[in-house]
Amino acid sequence: MAITLMPLPYAPDALQPAISADTLNTHHGKHHKTYVDKTNQAIAGTALADHSLEQIIAATRTSDKKVFNQAAQTWNHGFYWASLSPESTKPSADLAAAISSAFSSHQDMVEQLITQGAEHFGSGWVWLVSKAGELAIEATHDAGQPEGEDANPLLVLDVWEHAYYLDRKQDRKAYLKAVSGKIDWQFASENFARQSRWTYPR
């Protein structure tokens, strides 16, 4: 079964002014779609053709970087759309307690997310990750994802230039500041409660 282009969970203009409709349409309709198409081209007629996206990522992580990059970028973008919301949301009591134990405050955690994303060299992603219940911020390069059995990503922000260039030129930090106000804390709380990775819709 082919990997699908996960629909945006909101209208393309719903995150304005943090992210413009122009950026979301291009990011989703061109960039994300290209990763999906290239993943499908790569797996067609192979043993991976009927696998889930998560299985394709696991099977290629160390053995086939070319396929891994397309598949992991497909997953990362779906997870990114789901990490954002036009609604005002709050962490659950459990997630708020974990944030308080790992950071000096909720605001401190958000600032570290912005700083690590802004200072990350080159293309990649900045994640809030739960590792056996302990929260940490982690930046990964290119299509990279938090690795390890016990690493459960709670949310991600895209720091590839294509995520902000149309709106903010090279000012990644301005994008991160704006988009950090659009994080879907309910989604992060659901991921934290589940204690296993979100799965890309089939």
- State the minimum distance, in angstroms, from the CB of residue 80 to Fe ion: 7
d(CA 124, CA 120): 8
Side chain identity at 75, as an amino acid letter? W
Q: Which is nearer to Fe ion, 160 or 187 (CB)?
A: 160
Q: How many CB atoms neighbour CB 161 within 10 A?
A: 15
Considering only 51-59, 91-99, 150-158, 192-200, which stretch makes contact with Fe ion by CB under 5 A?
150-158
Q: Six-digit token pair at 77? A: 């973008």
Residue 84: name the closest of 185, 198, 162, 4 by CA: 185
Q: Which is nearer to Fe ion, 91 or 146 (CB)?
A: 146
Find the distance separating the first CA and the last CA of the chain, reported in whole Å.
8
Contact between 167 and Fe ion by CB under 5 A: the answer reads no
Binding mask 40-79 for Fe ion (x = CB under 5 A): ----------------------------------------
Pairing of the two strands 124-131 and 134-141: antiparallel
- State the minimum distance, in angstroms, from the CB of residue 125 to Fe ion: 8
Contact between 192 and Fe ion by CB under 5 A: the answer reads no
Size of the site for Fe ion (CB under 5 A): 2
Contact between 125 and Fe ion by CB under 5 A: the answer reads no
Which residue among 81, 103, 160, 200 contacts Fe ion (CB under 5 A)? 160
Q: Six-digit token pair at 193? A: 């409660």
Query: What stretches of the chain adopt beta strand conformation (E)?
Result: 124-131, 134-141, 151-158
Considering only 37-45, 46-54, 120-128, 158-166, which stretch makes contact with Fe ion by CB under 5 A?
158-166
Specify the residue for token string 């950090």. 180
Considering only 94-102, 104-112, 137-145, 154-162, which stretch makes contact with Fe ion by CB under 5 A?
154-162
- 108: Cβ–Cβ under 8 A, 6 or more apart, which residues? none
Q: Which is nearer to Fe ion, 158 or 184 (CB)?
A: 158
Q: Which is nearer to Fe ion, 78 or 91 (CB)?
A: 78
